[in-house]
Amino acid sequence: MEQKLAMPVRNLGSSGLAVSAIGLGGMPLSLNARPSEAEGIATIHAALEQGITLLDTADAYCLDDSEKGHNERLFAKALKNHPDIFVATKGGLIRPEGRWETDGRPEHLRKACEDSLRALGVSTITLYQFHRPDPKVPLAESLGAIADLQREGKIAHVGLSNVTIDQLEAAKHILKVVSVQNRMNVFDRSSMDVLKRCEERGIAFIPYSPLNGAAQAGNIGNHETIARIADNHGASAQQIALAWLLQLSPVMIPIPGARRITSIMNSAQAVNITLSSEEINELNQIA
């Protein structure tokens, strides 16, 4: 087993689990321009070496439905000798011909969860997240199916993704939510209201696209304010963007994606940066 570096931990909501303050988002390892399987596994192992203990995946992280579960299977191969790593997966999206579509039908979610169990090679999924509410299916029906799976022991903890405050509040009458995964980064604070509600209820907030999405992550340094602050700290612009998220809220657990070893090694070092109140105020003005 690789030697892990020390990394601060944060609570995964009320789950009783403590995970690394920064996780790894697996999506870039399975979509277009993805690395080879060997390179992908090496990137995952590099994350573990940095002390990362939370890996985020989904059954829909694949090119299309013909290879559903690609990212989950990749994680399973990489984690054969790492039982201490927490894997969070998601269900509720499908990839017909490469499109992203919702499917929140109870029968789909049951099959998706059982397929994810097989792909990950586990008997219980640590954190199962409803990927996106389906406008064609009542939220209570979708969440009721997930609650049934949890009662059957197939899911340990439940998270929601791409939800509003109203949907988060409705969910509490059906099951216990330990995490929310909505988009948030220094350029996009559209889920600030959801973040505040998570803080009030002790729910972890796992921002996806913490570096503004895979297509834009490399361009963060083009922003003058971020570039200047990064230069002041001798850090990368990406590290500054992640440090801003970490200091924004104690329930925040960013999950930057990575295709290469160098990318996740760079992101993990954001935990060592402390921004001044003046720098935070400057960064707050960007969104």
Catalytic residues: 61
- Residue whose C-alpha is closest to residue 203's, from 12, 9, 21, 20: 12
- Report how far residue 120's alpha carbon sits from residue 52's, in angstroms, rounded to the nearest whole number: 18
- Report how far residue 244's alpha carbon sits from residue 274's, in angstroms, rounded to the nearest whole number: 9
The label of the residue with tokens 């992550």 reads: 217
- Report how far residue 44's alpha carbon sits from residue 26's, in angstroms, rounded to the nearest whole number: 8
C-beta separation of 186 from 213 below 8 A: no
Complete DSSP assignment for 40-91: HHHHHHHHHHTT--EEE--TT-SSSGGGTTHHHHHHHHHTTT-TT-EEEEEE
Task: Quote the tokens at residue 220.
Answer: 């963060």
- Residue whose C-alpha is closest to residue 19's, from 113, 137, 159: 159
